[in-house]
Amino acid sequence: MTGRIIDGKAVAAGVRADVAAAVKNLPAQPALAVVLVGDDPASQVYVASKAKMTNEVGMRSIEIRLPRETTQDELLARVAALSADPDVDGILVQLPLPKHISEPAILAALDPMKDVDGLTEASAGKLVLGKPGLRPCTPVGCVILARTERPDLAGANVVVIGRSILVGKPAALLFLEQNATVTLAHSKTRDLKMVCRGADILVAAVGRPEMVRGDWVRPGAIVIDVGTNRVPAPEKGEGKTKLVGDVCFPEAIEVAAAVTPSPGGVGPMTIACLLRNTVLAACARRGWTVPAPLAAG
């Protein structure tokens, strides 16, 4: 029996609708500033999409596009100005940055109250300590998608493959907050296939195309595929490529209860959760009550 496809686009649309409803009940319009350095085509498309969706939910979008030659000191000055601006509620510096700029240095300069990507040390510390704060967008999206299939995650065996600070580690902690039993697996994990087969919920975030095969998945499991990898697609013609996840989707869907596709699964949730974080940041910073559509989440 073929499993269900978890429609990340539809779930993300629901999150954005909640954000839009919340924004209408705020005393003022929150603002999200996105900083892009350089001309990376994928980043340009992503930033444009963020700006469009920010405006669609009723918030103000601020786009700052800087040339690739921008120095680290110049970018730090921009980030400091945005951090000090009382009319800016959220700041996101689009990664990756040019190699001559230190990403940790830039993230360290962000006002943690405006860290809507949840990547500063202060945000990470609050997550580890279980204190209220802004959580990383992609891992939050993973939890929301898992809960569409299993609303109560308490007691679920969750295996997260990948230990990056961007997805793997925070995802493990967020599932732990839901009272799941979490295994954080990685490249050095012994018998990784069998570890994965013990998962009720399997989260793949390793950046390796289709590494997770169908026989890695326990029958009836929920599979959340964070990966987006571009690989050759000779069936489309010479030199053509396609996007695939970290999970071999055609094999996994034959075994699992539900699987997120890639693209169209976790990706749309990242922007939706970014918008959600901007509202939460505005409320925390300005002393506003979080409106009902988001307060329950």
Enumerate the active-site residues. 50, 94, 117
Residues 6 or more apart in contact with residue 187 via CB below 8 angstroms: 206
DSSP track, 225-248 = E---EEEE-GGG-TT-EEEE-SB-
Taking residue 193's Cβ as centre, other Cβ atoms within 10 Å add up to 12
Pair 277, 170: CB distance under 8 Å: no
CA–CA gap between residue 127 and residue 170 (Å, rounded): 8
φ and ψ of 62, to 5 deg: -120, 115
What is the Cα 191 distance to its own chain's centre?
Answer: 28
Dihedral sign for Cα 4, 9, 124, 26, please: negative
CA–CA gap between residue 16 and residue 271 (Å, rounded): 9
Both structure tokens of 178: 């839901």
In sequence order, the β-bridge partners of residue 36 are 65
In sequence order, the β-bridge partners of residue 203 are 160, 224
Distances from the Cα of 202 to the Cα of 54, 87, 158, 272, angstroms = 31, 40, 6, 22
Angle between helices 266-286 and 41-56 (to 10 degrees): 60
**∠ CA(88), CA(76), CA(72), 5° rounding?**
145
Pair 111, 80: CB distance under 8 Å: no
- In the three-class reduction of DSSP (H, G, I as helix; E, B as strand; rest coil), residue 187 is classed as coil
